[in-house]
Structure 1
Amino acid sequence: MSVKVSVVIPVYNPGEYIEDCISSLLRQSLPEDEYEAIFVDDGSTDATPARLDEIAAAHPNIQVIHQESSGWSGKPRNVGTAAARGEFVMYVDNDDWLGDEALERMYRYGVENGADVVIGKMAGKGRPVPVELFRVNRPRASVSDAPLMDSLTPHKMFRREFLESNNIRFREGRRRLEDHVFVVETYLRAANISVLSDYLCYYHIKREDASNAGFQRFDPVGYYGNLREALDIVEQYTEPGKLRDSMFRRWLRNEMVERLRGNRLLSLPEDYRQEIFTEIRGVVTERFGPGVAAGMQPTQQIVAALVADDRLADIEELARWEAGIKPVGRLDSLGWDGGSLKVGFTAEYEVSGLPMTFRSEGGEDLLAPPLAEETLATIEALGVSTLAPVDRSKVDLVVRERSTAAEFFQPVDFTRERIPGGDDATFRQELRATATIDPETAANGAPLGKGIWDILVRISSCGWTKEARLGSVRSDQVEEGRRGTLSGSPHRVVLPYWTEPHGNLSLDVDLSTSRIDRDVRVLAPEDVVVGDGRVELPLPVFVDPAAETGTVALRFKAAGVAAVRTEGVLTAQAKGAVLTAELPAGLLPGHTWDMGLGLPSAKRGKPRWTPLPTALLIADDGTVTTGAAGTPSPASAAAAAKAAAAKPVAAPRKKTSFPSRVAGRLKRSLFG
């Protein structure tokens, strides 16, 4: 069969970090004869070349090209592309990895939609990745109707014939932003671009040693010189106007304004701040017309105007205020509604621990930064808008898998509430929301995978987009709704729980932790009802009355005999569920039978057992009572009592005085 996808991986001294990349390539669902991996070793001096040769010798669809060091990723990618045989070329960095079905899904999606470029959903471990771009699948996208400019890294799939016929190559040599130049040209020349958002395709990783190229301190002169090359590409393939301005705005916002805000600026040494500021100002004054900054949020426009007017000191003052801004969320309600978890919450921005306030003036809502009068006067003189578009504020609830950083937006209904301040001119804004998390569709229409899913609130307002964990601040009644449930087919447990020590809300999907044990082990002996050959016990688990009744296993274990088990049926109750099971025939009299709960696990394919703190005590005559787990069996308890009664009582020892005991020990030591 012809090769569908060629994966090109530039390699330079990755050490152990390349192992995850290699493993993910070997796990691909696409048959081995339908894809190839081309590692281009760019002069590595560690053990990587030998490791790659070993892998290539064992796998015919993997090849290694060794070359002298070129200093950056551009040349290795070009060399790999020239050697590629696939219909599509996929670029992967040597410290990142792919989802197991990434190549198969991206290839199929690209063919179905006639795409020249296919962008697969990304997750960032310690690295920022696009968010808005992956809200939904976008089979036909362009820079004019989708936020493609949020994604300028090369970790995408490109039709090889499209690259060759248009002679699109990476810039070579030691340079920054060569991927921006390459990707932007493909965006502007592609017949179609497809965005696949319902499967996590690419894991973008920050190495623990922080030695990824993108995390190194850069030379501002070279960096912004390379950035101008990306601007040149836009000018070559667009006309002056809204589209060009919107594309330029991406670099003004991300590579310039955002570097000069909050802690990102304040954490830099003062001399380095000045270097970066000087180069940014050069690009702003040389290349950007007024329409570029005009499309940004007010706070971003303020920074851009201060850059153009050469006012670094005022930017630093603004940064000190913005450094204190953070989002906060309060969990108001929690509970299952059918198969979905309803999460009610309130969110707003705080500044230095106090609610952010705005002011009303002349019928308009305005920002109210506590800046010096001179700085405020400068901003006003520059004619920059300080409008606060609070009527466009929004809030999202996101679930993020802890080990992979995969994240998905959940459906949210919210209202914007104005709360008057201490005078008629000021107010604060709260966003009051209810989100719906359906474990079977929460991953962009697919089920949430096994793992720990953290719950986050993300607020977008007035030029800030920030996120925070939810749950550490919560109302008293939410604990009552914090119940696990059986979800999906086959059933698996989905459990909301509080993290330690911060008390944030997370979801344990398919028993990835032992948190459920804490909930079920509160069962007391008096809660268990035995009669008519059945046992009933309450469980803190939600059961949807309208759904198919779930079954849970019970296991009974006694010392010296084989364990027996049975299946129980869960039925809904007001504050949880009751488990009803027939007592199995193998429960022998004269024993204490400790009980275990077998919760279903889709991943394991068999129950996962949790010991319960309760037991059935079956007397010799068959009478059944309940007690604590570990209670001696009725037979052993009776035998122990009988033995104690038959044992003769020993005569009490005669007590001797302390001096006599000392004298006796001394005599034995001297003479005996």
Structure 2
Amino acid sequence: MIKVSVVVPTYKTSVEGLARLVGSLERQTMPASEFEVIFVDDGSPDDTLQRLRKLAETHSNVRVEAIENSGWPSKPRNVGIELAQGEYIAFMDHDDELYPDALRAAYEFGVANNADAVNGKEARTTSASWGMGTYDQDRPQSIGRTDVHPLIPMNPHKMYRRAFLNEHGIRFIEGARVLWEDIFFNVLVSRHARVISTLTSVPYYHWVTTKGSGSSTFVKHGEDFWRWLPRVCQSIIDELPGEENRLQREQLELHQYGNRLVGVFDSKYVTRTPKQRRFMFEQAQKLQRDFDFARLEGRMNSSKRVRAELLRADRQDLLEEICVSDAAVPGWARATTVEWRGGILHVSSDVTWADSKGTVPALVRDGDRIRKGLPTEVRDLVSAEATDMTADVDGITVSGLVRSRRSRIAWALPLESDVRVEDLPDGTVRVSATASFTVDPAAAASGAPLEEATHWDLHVHARFGNSSTDRPLKSTIPASVTLTDGRLHLVYPNDSTNATIIPGGQREAVRRLTPESAALVDGDLVLELAGHHDGAGEVETVVGVWAAGASKLSDRPARLRIADGAAQLIVPGVGAGTIDVRVGDRAPGGPGAWTVRADKDRRILERSSRPSTDSTPASKPAPAPTPTPTLRRTVGRVLRRFGLR
């Protein structure tokens, strides 16, 4: 029995992208005999088809179909639906990957709940907080959620019951360059589905965003963007009619109006040519009028509502001014305490909103209300409701995340926050927050342990009005460890001064903890390590050692011992000679090595002049692809321009 058919449209698929996708399918916990993979090649002019056919020769569950070029993934997906034999169909893009337990977990969750669609937990390479609002818990039935539409994110990276798709004739709109074909598809799913299940506890899909992917070519000043956006809006109205569909319909309409229509008037808008700006303005005005979107503005934050009202008032000049003066200001978090207690990490942080130039949100006091500071002409033109930021301040949310640097999956952390509103003598208002959260390495992955020997970076996602930013948690608090139930976990400020955890991080702990003194006890070198630590016991580790006169580093077995808040590194069989040890070389200001020499019965610890042998942690996973120098410089300029670096 075929449980799942994985349908993959391909076109000029890169060798690396295909290898990544196939590798993830080969690692599935679901036996290969229980799922099939259908590649439908859309007339690739390169060797993609040949590579796929060669793959099929060695994989009995792989089928390859070739079609003439259609210009978009829609037709290949439809062909895949027709060929599929599985109870459920899972769509993948040709350079993404599934997490190892994805097919088994999503299929069993779907069958258990008789789901027409399963929205599995998704990660996106470029965003730690991607989809976190949707993936808050396992939900057997998500239809009726008032906080978010059950199919958000509205991409096809989900699992659909094949009989359901066929019963209702649900297919992708075919044609060359059909923008948002996945939204059209999922709107149909929304209309007919009786059960949509959300799977959060098991990672499902990694959207590997790369330069040149379909969504990255959606140019906001292009004609096709504004040709297809009204069709999306009309589809939502046509396919979700009546009072019974009001909730889903208005959720999706507000998403299109706020994010895609009003959302184009950001800081990048003013960098476009006058002709492009005018075109975008006129197109947005037409959609606003044709779909009577003013009825939704009461649900918008102040920044979006101001833009919407200026658009309706035909004031492009003021709208351009607002794109500069009312640009989104990012939220930043800095740790004030990082402490292990009973094997659980307790973190407190301050959260502030400011860009790289020190600009803070412009807020002013007006009686019992807080208003957006705006130019006089704008303030006189828009409604009082549009300038009222009181609800935006009350609606500030701060959430904690822990994110794998290897797999890019992120997990929400239990967090308490407190928003502070300070009235200043000049009548302005300053907003900040404190946030406290905990990380239990044994249960932080939705009740499961965090993967060991993996870097997990701490992030704080701050949402305030028009600003929604997730940033690594800044920290300069020295490294510390906990040893609980025989497992040692490390937290430290990484080389970018952001907080990172490594569960099972005893090898890296040797390089992040600074030695304070040395002694020779029964032939073993004992180094006292700085900091306050948690738990008790010993774990095996490795330390780099240069014997006297040696130029080559060698690894030696060692032990980390934790007791009474202190940590010791024990290196057996060192002897009485002088040696250099690689300990604490990755701590801030640490030398490449420490010299331990004998002084009668004592051991003297001194900073060595020996340079560090490398600049990477022993346990560091393979890094993600990095931009070329030219691209890196361009990205850096853009990020600095908008206060993001």
* TM norm. shorter chain > 0.5: yes
SS in 1 for 2:377: helix
Identify the residue that residue 648 of structure 1 maps to in structure 2: none
SS in 1 for 2:441: coil
- The one-letter code of the counterpart of 2:538 is G
1:356/1:112 Cα in 2 relative to 1: closer, same or farther (>3 Å)? Answer: same
Query: Are 2:96 and 1:102 aligned?
Result: no
Query: Larger relative CO (CA 8 A, sep 6+): 1 or 2?
Result: 2
Residues 422 and 429, structure 2, Cα contact 8 Å, conserved in 1: yes
Identify the residue that residue 320 of structure 1 maps to in structure 2: 324
Identify the residue that residue 563 of structure 2 maps to in structure 1: 572
1:336/1:376 Cα in 2 relative to 1: closer, same or farther (>3 Å)? Answer: same
1:108-123, aligned counterparts within 5 Å?
A: 108-123=108-123
Identify the residue that residue 656 of structure 1 maps to in structure 2: none
What is the CA–CA distance in structure 1 between the aligned matches of 2:5 and 2:555, rounded to whole Å?
54
What is the CA–CA distance in structure 2 between the aligned matches of 1:577 and 1:228, rounded to whole Å?
61
Deviation, structure 1 residue 24: 1.3
1:23-422, aligned counterparts within 5 Å?
A: 23-126=23-126, 129-147=130-148, 148=150, 150-174=152-176, 175-208=178-211, 210-217=212-219, 218=222, 219-236=224-241, 241=246, 243-260=248-265, 262-288=266-292, 290-323=294-327, 325-350=329-354, 352-369=357-374, 371=375, 373-380=376-383, 384=386, 386-389=388-391, 390-422=393-425
SS in 2 for 1:454: strand
SS in 2 for 1:108: helix
Q: Deviations over 1:552-573 (max 9, x none)?
A: 357899689xx99887572334
Q: 2:594 aligns with which of 590, 603, 613?
A: 613
Query: Are 2:528 and 1:523 aligned?
Result: no
What is the CA–CA distance in structure 1 between the aligned matches of 2:493 and 2:37, rounded to whole Å?
42
1:82/1:490 Cα in 2 relative to 1: closer, same or farther (>3 Å)? Answer: farther
Runs of 5+ unmatched residues, structure 1: 599-609, 632-672
What is the CA–CA distance in structure 1 between the aligned matches of 2:154 and 2:116, rounded to whole Å?
16
What is the CA–CA distance in structure 2 between the aligned matches of 1:213 and 1:359, rounded to whole Å?
39
What is the CA–CA distance in structure 2 between the aligned matches of 1:23 and 1:324, rounded to whole Å?
40
What is the CA–CA distance in structure 1 between the aligned matches of 2:286 and 2:408, rounded to whole Å?
37
1:401/1:256 Cα in 2 relative to 1: closer, same or farther (>3 Å)? Answer: same
What is the CA–CA distance in structure 1 between the aligned matches of 2:147 and 2:110, rounded to whole Å?
17
Identify the residue that residue 603 of structure 2 maps to in structure 1: 626
What is the CA–CA distance in structure 2 between the aligned matches of 1:595 and 1:316, rounded to whole Å?
60
Query: Are 2:476 and 1:465 aligned?
Result: no
Q: 2:528 aligns with which of 520, 523, 538?
A: 538
SS in 2 for 1:134: coil
Residues 487 and 539, structure 2, Cα contact 8 Å, conserved in 1: no
SS in 2 for 1:451: coil
Deviation, structure 1 residue 324: 6.0
Residues 149 and 247, structure 1, Cα contact 8 Å, conserved in 2: no
What is the CA–CA distance in structure 2 between the aligned matches of 1:616 and 1:491, rounded to whole Å?
32
What is the CA–CA distance in structure 1 between the aligned matches of 2:33 and 2:555, rounded to whole Å?
50
Q: Deviations over 1:234-278 (max 9, x none)?
A: 444655855532331111112212122x32423433322322332
1:41/1:490 Cα in 2 relative to 1: closer, same or farther (>3 Å)? Answer: farther
- The one-letter code of the counterpart of 1:457 is V
Deviation, structure 1 residue 214: 4.1
1:284/1:496 Cα in 2 relative to 1: closer, same or farther (>3 Å)? Answer: same
1:51/1:627 Cα in 2 relative to 1: closer, same or farther (>3 Å)? Answer: same
Residues 117 and 159, structure 2, Cα contact 8 Å, conserved in 1: yes
What is the CA–CA distance in structure 2 between the aligned matches of 1:133 and 1:504, rounded to whole Å?
26
Identify the residue that residue 14 of structure 2 maps to in structure 1: 15
Q: 1:442 aligns with which of 434, 441, 444?
A: 444
What is the CA–CA distance in structure 2 between the aligned matches of 1:84 and 1:100, rounded to whole Å?
22
Q: Deviations over 1:391-412 (max 9, x none)?
A: 2222122223334432222221
Identify the residue that residue 619 of structure 2 maps to in structure 1: none
What is the CA–CA distance in structure 1 between the aligned matches of 2:555 and 2:8, rounded to whole Å?
55
Residues 6 and 37, structure 2, Cα contact 8 Å, conserved in 1: yes
Identify the residue that residue 613 of structure 2 maps to in structure 1: none
| TM-score, normalised by the number of residues in structure 2 | 0.82
What is the CA–CA distance in structure 1 between the aligned matches of 2:542 and 2:166, rounded to whole Å?
64
| TM-score, normalised by the number of residues in structure 1 | 0.79
Residues 469 and 505, structure 1, Cα contact 8 Å, conserved in 2: yes
Identify the residue that residue 501 of structure 2 maps to in structure 1: 507
Deviation, structure 1 residue 4: 0.7
1:247/1:270 Cα in 2 relative to 1: closer, same or farther (>3 Å)? Answer: same
- The one-letter code of the counterpart of 2:4 is V
What is the CA–CA distance in structure 1 between the aligned matches of 2:74 and 2:603, rounded to whole Å?
72
Identify the residue that residue 4 of structure 1 maps to in structure 2: 3
1:387/1:533 Cα in 2 relative to 1: closer, same or farther (>3 Å)? Answer: closer
What is the number of equivalent residue pairs in this alignment?
A: 588
Moved more, 18-27 or 272-281: 272-281
- The one-letter code of the counterpart of 2:537 is T
What is the CA–CA distance in structure 2 between the aligned matches of 1:290 and 1:613, rounded to whole Å?
68
1:171/1:487 Cα in 2 relative to 1: closer, same or farther (>3 Å)? Answer: farther
What is the CA–CA distance in structure 2 between the aligned matches of 1:452 and 1:569, rounded to whole Å?
20
Identify the residue that residue 497 of structure 1 maps to in structure 2: 493
Q: 2:540 aligns with which of 552, 566, 587?
A: 552
Residues 98 and 205, structure 2, Cα contact 8 Å, conserved in 1: yes
Residues 486 and 550, structure 1, Cα contact 8 Å, conserved in 2: no
Q: Deviations over 1:553-602 (max 9, x none)?
A: 57899689xx998875723345x323578x66xx77x766777889xxxx
Runs of 5+ unmatched residues, structure 2: 585-590, 609-645
What is the CA–CA distance in structure 1 between the aligned matches of 2:607 and 2:368, rounded to whole Å?
73
Q: Deviations over 1:176-220 (max 9, x none)?
A: 112101112212321211111123211112224x34354242423
1:232/1:497 Cα in 2 relative to 1: closer, same or farther (>3 Å)? Answer: same
SS in 1 for 2:134: helix
What is the CA–CA distance in structure 2 between the aligned matches of 1:290 and 1:225, rounded to whole Å?
16
Identify the residue that residue 637 of structure 1 maps to in structure 2: none
What is the CA–CA distance in structure 2 between the aligned matches of 1:114 and 1:274, rounded to whole Å?
49
